A and B are shown apart, each in its own frame.
Chain A
Amino acid sequence: MSVLVFAESQGGQFKKSAFEAVTYGYKTAQVLGTECIAICLGEAGNAADLGNYGASKVLSVADSALNTVDSQAYTSVIAQAAEKNGASVVVLMHSATGKGIVGGLSARLNAGSAPGVNQIPTNDGAFRVKKNVFSGKAIAEVELTSDVKVISVMGNSFQPEVVGSPATVETFAADVPAARITVKSVDKVQGSVPLPEAEIVVSAGRGMKGPENWGIIEELAELIGAATACSRPVADTDWRPHHEHVGQTGVAIRPNLYFAIGISGAIQHLAGVNSSKVIVVINKDPEAPFFKAADYGVCADLFDVVPRLIEAFKKRKANS
């Protein structure tokens, strides 16, 4: 028996989410009294490092066909590893890649699945795990009854914890199916932190009055190492690029800290951000619904408050 964790890499490097996944897998393995094995697909330079987070060994499938994400190929290879290693639980991240695999993998392995979990499972007579449902408005406890179970973990739910030392990396000889999808082009957002992985997000809405006023948002974000985001009307009017749109129809995120600046907080927007750990709302309308979801609120003109906030962060930086 084992817990198998798929550690996502990009351009040969692991993402922080890979370490989160291994930490989750390690804790799940402890609940089940078994070991945690990691698998990486395609190039992955520092595979042994996964041992630091609790993987007892790392399976590497360094087939160049896996450098691009093909859901079928990934599903097939992970399923082969799960079968060969007697995995009772397969852990993925609930990322774009993970979401592309989770369904196919559970069908392939005839496994009950729990997509988008945010807690470690319990196993007191029944294997149960919790996840958010209704776009964060409720929590469901799911019982998985199959021999093999597939779980995908919401990003930023678990911080990576160092519990061990580098692990041995074994080559896993998988039968990689021929690709049925050809990648024609990839358009990565350059330079900034990808929004779903950002720990701090500075988001702004229609209260900004126009795209020319975004300088203060970008300055604040850069100062505190945050990603920038926006509300739907802002993306729809092309004030900001679509990939910055958070909310029900955009990206759902759960950063440690979310600044909502000049965003009223419509229910569709809240659905994408209400799992954030701390929410700061800056809005001049005291009736803005966002204040009900906020931890800290500032009710004033954002064009006065944001520059003051930038100064305050600069002062703290200078003093620390």
Chain B
Amino acid sequence: MKLLVCVSKTPDTTAKISFNADNSEFNGAGVQYIMNPYDEWYALVRAMELKEATGGTVTLINVGPAENDTVIRKGLAIGADDAIRINCNPKSSLYVAKQIAEFAKDGGFDIVFCGKETIDYNGSEVGGMVAEYLGMPFISFASKLEMDGNGATITRDIDGGKETVGVATPFVVSAAKGLAEQRIPNMRGIMQARRKPIDVKEPVAFDDLSTVVSYDMPPAKAACKMLDPEDMDELVRLLHEEAKII
């Protein structure tokens, strides 16, 4: 099987979030970057497991600048065979999806994997966009994926529960927690990754239809009001009269 895994670079979960002086751009100074956890832990690892079970190849694709190669190398160390980087500084999801679809359309991929969302922009969009551009079915939030015959049986999260669906290849799937278990690259993988190819391609022209014009921090939270553990009537009163909730 030919598998394509879309990987994104995001600030580490614990990174301090700040912006430049006019709040127009994320301030990356001193920020540790990682591969988006949904892309790495779930999408890439499940793709590796399928390759190990049935043979085939796992290709990574990233849409971003040369700095992203460190994140791509980690994916190669986990075991992907090769990687494509579309060389640009993307500003919108649709732009990213267009680049991925342009690469994937003639690639003969059986499954295109992505994470359910990135932990920076939290959009959950790219998978659906790629599927639409490629004319493939899209299964969002997969927590289980088993191949059977010429398709797959996938369990996905739906509102208020889970649903198990069948779909024939090729398709696009977004990975949620449960699809696989995180893998730590071993030394052999890391050494091999150095010799694996990252093919750099230039982007196709596409106009952004959405752009972030400014960032802001959420309003500071008032200090926590500490209550007497003996007096829970007071908490109930505050929730009722001050917070006006219960």
Contacts and interface: CB of A to CB of B under 8 A. Distances in A.
A103 B97 contact: yes
B159 A304 contact: no
B74 to A, nearest CB: 19
Interface centre among A99, A256, A271 (most CB of B within 10 A): A99
Interface stretch (B43-51, B56-64, B120-128, B190-198): B120-128
Interface in A23-76: 68-69, 71-72, 75
Given A113-B125, A257-B246, A308-B232, A267 B240 contact: no
Contact of A278 (B127, B130, B218, B245): B245
A174 interface: no
Interface stretch (B12-20, B75-83, B105-113): B12-20
B227 A298 contact: yes
A185 B163 CA distance: 6
Given A146-B209, A182-B166, A183-B164, A248 B13 contact: yes
Contact of B158 (A69, A114, A140): A69
B219 to A, nearest CB: 9
B87 interface: no
Contact of A268 (B13, B164, B178, B213): B13
A309 B224 contact: no
Interface of B is mostly: mixed
B14 A112 contact: no
B163 A183 contact: yes
Interface in A176-225: 180-189, 194, 196-197, 200, 224
A142 B212 contact: yes
B236 A184 contact: no
Interface of B: 11, 13-14, 17, 19, 37-38, 92-94, 97, 116-117, 119-133, 137-141, 153, 157-168, 177-178, 208-218, 221-222, 224-227, 229-230, 232-233, 235-236, 238-240, 243, 245-246
17 contacts: A69-B163, A71-B140, A96-B140, A103-B138, A104-B129, A106-B94, A134-B122, A138-B217, A144-B210, A186-B161, A194-B159, A248-B13, A248-B119, A292-B221, A293-B221, A297-B224, A308-B232
